[in-house]
Structure 1
């Protein structure tokens, strides 16, 4: 009798442990489910990568002729200056937020004065 009880107990312990570790992978359960890319995904705030320079010589996150998005911009002038500095721009001047919520001004980059902007997502562009 004792071996039977031991075997049942062992089977119960091993069986419950294995089922608790089972992971389902693959397609979503719903047949009409879409990936986040197909459905538009979550509109999240993106931040530029300012670690490396882009092929056009501008710091990453700062691009010539990049389209800045209009929207409610809550960045302060100090935060804009900090992001411009992180993107490789110095001596930012005349920073003003326009009626589309985009901060605009001028800054120095590689010894040249350039027009710069920053949108509500924190994306920096030299124009």
Structure 2
């Protein structure tokens, strides 16, 4: 009995007996990045972009822009273009998270 107690004490003090559990999220379907209709203050966010040119143009147009022109994917992974918004030409950017921002950055 003394040997078993000594062994348990040694294992407990070494940390070998403590179990580790991963934290759980309330909703396992929650995506890693969500920026639905909220403004991301750091947008556009640089990163590897998986949007095709057609998808990028479509997303920009879906946000109310028209006449999307000079659409180019930068080395930082941000799609940039010129587009018409309310009769004025503006510069727009689309990052890998789907954030669309106006102005050159």
What does residue 50 of structure 2 align with? 74
Bigger radius of gyration among the two:
1
**Which of structure 1's runs of 4+ aligned residues deviate more than 3 A?**
none
* Equivalent runs, 1:1-127 vs 2, <5 Å: 44-49=32-37, 67-127=43-103
- Asked whether the equivalents of residues 43 and 95 of structure 2 are also in contact (C-alpha less than 8 Å), the reply is no
Deviations 1:81-123 (A, max 9, x none): 1111110100100000111000001000000000000000111
Q: Would the alpha carbon gap of residues 98 and 125 (structure 1) be closer, same or farther in structure 2, given more than 3 Å must change?
A: same
- Alpha-carbon separation, structure 2, partners of 1:106 and 1:70: 19
The structure that is helix-richer by fraction is 1
Aligned residues: 79
- Alpha-carbon separation, structure 2, partners of 1:108 and 1:66: 23
- Asked whether the equivalents of residues 66 and 126 of structure 1 are also in contact (C-alpha less than 8 Å), the reply is no
Structure 1 unmatched runs, 5+: 1-33, 37-41, 50-59
